[in-house]
Structure formats: C-alpha cells, structure tokens
Amino acid sequence: MLRYLTAGESHGKALLAILEGLPSGLKVAKEKIDAELARRQSGYGRGARMRIEKDRVEIISGLHKGFTIASPLGMLIENKDFSIDHMPEVVHPRPGHADLAGALKYGFDDCRSALERASARETAIRVAVGAVCKIFLNEFAISVKSKALAIGGKVTPEAVHKIIDEAREKKDTLGGVFDIAISGVPAGLGSYVQPDRRLNGRLAQAVMSIPGIKALEFGMGFISANKFGSEVHDAIYYSKVKGYYRKTNNAGGIEGGVSNGQDILICAYMKPIATLGKPLNSVGIKTKKAHPASIQRADICAVEAAGVVAEAMCAFVIADCLLEKFGADSLKDIKQAFRAYLKRISQ
C-alpha cells in the first residue's frame, strides 16, 4: 500500500510530503522531480507568484546513496514567499474559493486561515509525490502524460493567447480542458469486487481532488450516454503478436472497474481561477455588509499546471494499484512478479 500526506500553507515556510510504501532499489534523482515542478510552473497566463517561486525539491529522507530503501520519502519545497503571519487579514471571502465555507467550518474570522491551505500552492508538493511515482512506473514502462486541449473554449495557440490576454485586460480569469493518457498499464489493475476498489472511481477521486476541476470523463465519456451500445463498446480481437486487442478505445482503458490493457484516457474540465482582479460581490464576514471580494495575487489561467498535477495524482493511483497487485518491498521482486504476470496473461 502506498500512502502519502502533504502539509504546508501558501505563505508558510515550506511544503512537505511523506510518501510511504515505495519498494527498495529505486533510483530517485532530484532532477527528475525538479523537472516536473518546473512543468507545473509553466503555461501562459500564470501570475506573479510563479516568478517568485522556482520550486526545487529537497529530499529529506528515504534514500541511501541515491536509492530508495523502502523507508518513507520525506520531501520539502521551500516557499520563497514565507510570510503567513504577516499577511493581511482576508475578510471578504472570494466566491469560488474555500474562503467562506472554510471559515464557517473551522470557525475562522480571518479567511486567511482557510485560504493558506486551500490555495493551489499545495499542489506543488503533490507534483513531487507524483514525480516519484512516475519514476517508479517508468521501471514498468508505464507513462502518464497530460495535454491542455482548450482554454476558455479556444483551441489554437493564437486563440488561446488572445483570450488569456483579453481576460487579463478585463481582470477576469479562465479555465479549460486537458486530457491525461496513461500508457503501458497492463490489464488487471483495480477491481470490481468492492465499490471502493474500482480503478475509475479511484482515478476520479484523485483528479477531482485538484482545485478547480468540475467535471471529468473516461474515454468516450459524456457522449457515450447518447449512443447505442453497438456504437460504444470496444470489440475484442486477438492476434499472436498483440494478444488481445481492440481497434477502438471508447472505454478509455477501463472496463468493469479494471484496466483492460489499453491506454487509460481521462479528460478533465477546469473552471476559471476563482480569484478575480475585478472582484465579484461578497460580504464582510465580520460586518455582514456587502463588499467586493478580496483580491489576492493569482493566475489568470492554470490549465496546463492542473494537467501536470493530474498526472501526479494519477501516477500515485496507478503506482498504488501496481504494488497492491504485484507485491511490495523490493523493486526486483516486484518486477519479477510483473513479468511473470505479463507472461501468464499473454498465453
């Protein structure tokens, strides 16, 4: 079983994660994690914070001479902008954020106590966790990739840049659409035997837990609800070379809650960033009087970044399922079990 916890506030000292359950013998290079962190920070439409922070991971624990020793990986990303106790109060909750719901839930009279943790800053450390999971998955030739498909409904680079510039000018924000493709997953991860073990449910939880995601679909997704079964399900074929195969992948790689050996395809829909430069109506949480929402430094659009976070979250889920199926403890042992399984199902 793979587990992790993250910690850290947007303007706290640092972000932290502990990732537990990795086998021994995996080479973990800090550079690979940093590369993922840099990917998360890129994309047109990002805010001033991205110019302040150049995220670099510090691996605190879990390695011996560069290799995992099965002990928990402790990781830390310093916040350059460490100032939490000196930041102004936030008393006009921003619609679309956890500001108000968080303040009510936890009894805050300063929404800062909510937004510091609710901020998407936290996803940086999730990317570090996911980067390690990707390194692990790479040993099994499994890859997880995302791509922004549309921003504010626009698809071509020019149109995307134009609408982001328009949003910036209007002090407005944008969301968009990205997809995730997980390749190399063998048939047999996840299960139908208990509701909480279905792979699509686990992946949906993971992707939906990313700030701003409001919808997602697997494979043909939404559209499949409008079709006949004969137009949707992926007929099964077999050849000596390929084994079982399909000519279509409408299922998005999962049937009955179990990976079927095809690419797992997820498409995620992100709402516009909730912090607007030209703020929406809100209410003072102390005065109860109408007042424009608080303005915080923010991105105009972060769809590409969300895609990188989604890769991380999916990589974690797949790594967890892999360990569940093929055992734990030693990378060599797991690889041996993996190969034996691939051989069995190819016969």
Site membership for a second copy, residue 126 (CB under 8 A) = yes
What is the closest distance, in whole angstroms, from the C-beta atom of residue 282 to a second copy in the complex? 4
Of the candidate residues 131, 160, 206, 319, the single one contacting a second copy (CB under 8 A):
206
- Local structure of 70: helix, strand or coil: coil
Alpha-carbon gap, residue 111 to 117, rounded angstroms:
11
Gap between the terminal Cα atoms of the chain = 29
- Chain centroid to Cα 97, Å, comes to 18
Q: Is 65 in the site for a second copy (CB under 8 A)?
A: yes
| 202 contacts a second copy (rule: CB under 8 A) | yes
- Of 26, 118, 137, 319, the residue at the interface with a second copy (CB under 8 A) is 118
Q: Which parts of 156-175 interact with a second copy (CB under 8 A)? A: 167, 170, 172-175
Q: Does 7 bind a second copy (CB under 8 A)?
A: yes
Q: Among 2, 150, 164, 318, which residue sits at the site for a second copy (rule: CB under 8 A)?
A: 150
Q: Tokens 């995620």 identify what position?
A: 268
228 binds a second copy (CB under 8 A): yes
In this complex, which beta carbon is closest to a second copy, that of residue 42 or of residue 71? Answer: 71
Length of the chain, please? 347
Q: Is 151 helix (H, G, I), strand (E, B) or coil?
A: strand
Helix 123-138, helix 30-41: angle, nearest 10:
130
Q: Which is nearer to a second copy, 44 or 244 (CB)?
A: 244
Q: Is 105 in the site for a second copy (CB under 8 A)?
A: yes
Least Cβ distance, residue 312 to a second copy (angstroms)? 10
With a CB cutoff of 8 Å and minimum separation 6, the contacts of 209 are: 313
If binding is defined by CB under 8 A, does position 252 make contact with a second copy? yes
User: Within 25-64, which residues bind a second copy (CB under 8 A)?
Assistant: 25, 60-62, 64
Tokens describing residue 157: 């680079």
Q: Which is nearer to a second copy, 49 or 94 (CB)?
A: 94
List the interface residues with a second copy, window 80-99 (CB under 8 A).
84-85, 93-99
Residues 264, 127, 131: CA angle, nearest 5 degrees: 70
Q: Does 233 bind a second copy (CB under 8 A)?
A: yes
By CB under 8 A, tell whether 324 contacts a second copy: yes
Supply the minimum distance, in Å, between the C-beta of residue 342 and a second copy. Answer: 10
Planar angle of CA 228, 229, 233, nearest 5 degrees = 135
Q: What is the DSSP string of 307-342?
A: HHHHHHHHHHHHHHHHHHHH-SSBHHHHHHHHHHHH
Those residues whose C-beta lies under 8 Å from the C-beta of residue 225, and which sit 6 or more positions away, are none
Q: How far is the CB of 55 from a second copy (least distance, A)?
A: 16
Nearer to a second copy, 156 or 230 (CB): 230
Asked if 146 touches a second copy (CB under 8 A), the answer is no
38 or 69: CB nearest a second copy? 69
Distances (CA, A) of 123 to 113, 159, 285: 18, 28, 27
Give the nearest distance from C-beta 47 to a second copy in angstroms: 13
Binding flag, residue 297, a second copy (CB under 8 A): no
Applying CB under 8 A, among 153, 157, 169, 242 the residue interacting with a second copy is 153
The three-state DSSP-derived secondary structure of 233-257 is CCCCEEECCCEEECCCCCCCCEECC
Among 38, 50, 208, 295, binds a second copy (CB under 8 A): 208
**φ, ψ at 117 (rounded to 5°):** -95, -30
Task: Note whether 176 binds a second copy by CB under 8 A.
Answer: yes
